[in-house]
Structure 1
């Protein structure tokens, strides 16, 4: 049964759950709906492709063993088209080769069945944080700042701003969660996927300094003694 101890966190983001097992779809959907997400389902690859093109979810939970258009083929089709849609693979294939194939094709995470619904929800939250959560442009009207995760473009007062790949990742992560404070260690974990001690927290400080130089100091605020937050 799904766990419901956490308060809803989905903020009406839409997810597509793709699995040919109706029981798995039901358990996953219950868990994610309890987290506050809007969930659609598909039982095969072709229905999943139709759901992606017609409804454009913010993330796909994808089984690999699907009738017709397989999960790996669906993932390959997305990535060959240049589509950055976040995908979390949920598969009964536990072999290292299948895991590597899925990640090499562009899966954002890979979870093996049997699985914990709570862990799946946590991984969905993590992938959405890293990706900015959606391909829809995220304007911040009060500041004139526009961040588009799909095209990785940034505009300030209508003018394009050139950012490095990691500067963009950091900005998109903060913009997706306005006014939420993150420590440098949390940002290293979420943006750099760096384990504790692997990378200096000064890396975060330097990237924040660069963002402020390009965007102005008012967009990324320092919370003294804690970390940083985006000010909408």
Structure 2
């Protein structure tokens, strides 16, 4: 964040028109925006000033945006990263985004939705100085050591520490946890989840499942909560307690 308190966004895209569009639109929303057309310029920006979020094109002319995102993730572990992808990209490629990116959107994108999702990523990545108690009138779900606050849309562990979830991750977890011990197909999950309206690939669900398991499960390869039902979909293993705490 800069000295004026504005969040700083870094746009990495080799299309000048896209960079200019995003810079103008996001600046109007109150962000400070810097841009780069390649990896060299990106690293220069990251070295010269603090950046709060990177918005990167998956396919750059001479570089792999996904590899750049991985390198950013290695150096800045908590840096929110959003990828922009074309509608023609292979779903296997989309699946690979779970290794580096926090969220992604398809081109052409809706500026209002993009801005909302950037805001959500920034809000979820804000570091909490101390655990915050659950508000007494919030609608919550309880499973294992976890509290899922449906009102504030937050996930907390038994110490009250928030685990940062993206919009899509929270929406998927809410969809599963509100329907415990019920097998849901990928198509049903997409239909039921409020956060997946524009992410229509079946593989998108697999991406988010992998992310959630890394955050929820003691051993993601042997999940306690999110179970795979081969050929059918996924099941959230109960019990789940509901409470107006």
Report the count of equivalent residues: 151
Alignment equivalent of 1:60, drawn from 54, 59, 63: 54
Tell whether 2:66 aligns with 1:44: no
**Structure 1 residue ranges without an equivalent (≥5):** 1-9, 133-137, 139-145, 148-153, 155-166, 175-180, 201-225, 228-232
Q: CA deviation at 1:69?
A: 3.9
Q: With CA pairs under 8 Å and 6+ residues apart, which has the higher RCO, 1 or 2? A: 2
- Give the 5 Å matches for 1:1-232: 12-81=6-75, 83-92=77-86, 94-104=89-99, 106-132=100-126, 147=129, 171=132, 184-188=149-153, 193-195=170-172, 196=174, 198-199=176-177
- The superposition leaves residues 7-38 of structure 1 with CA deviations (integer Å, 9 ceiling, x where unpaired) of xxx95111001110011111111221111100
Taking structure 2 as the reference length, what is the TM-score of the superposition?
0.53
Distance 1:15 1:25 in 2: 12
| Equivalent pair of 1:65/1:71 in contact (CA under 8 Å) | yes
Taking structure 1 as the reference length, what is the TM-score of the superposition?
0.56
**Structure 2 residue ranges without an equivalent (≥5):** 140-148, 156-163, 179-243
Distance 2:138 2:121 in 1: 16
Q: CA deviation at 1:189?
A: 5.7
Report the 3-state secondary structure (helix = DSSP H, G, I; strand = E; otherwise coil) of the residue aligned with 2:153.
helix
- Cα 1:97–1:198 shift into 2, 3 Å: closer
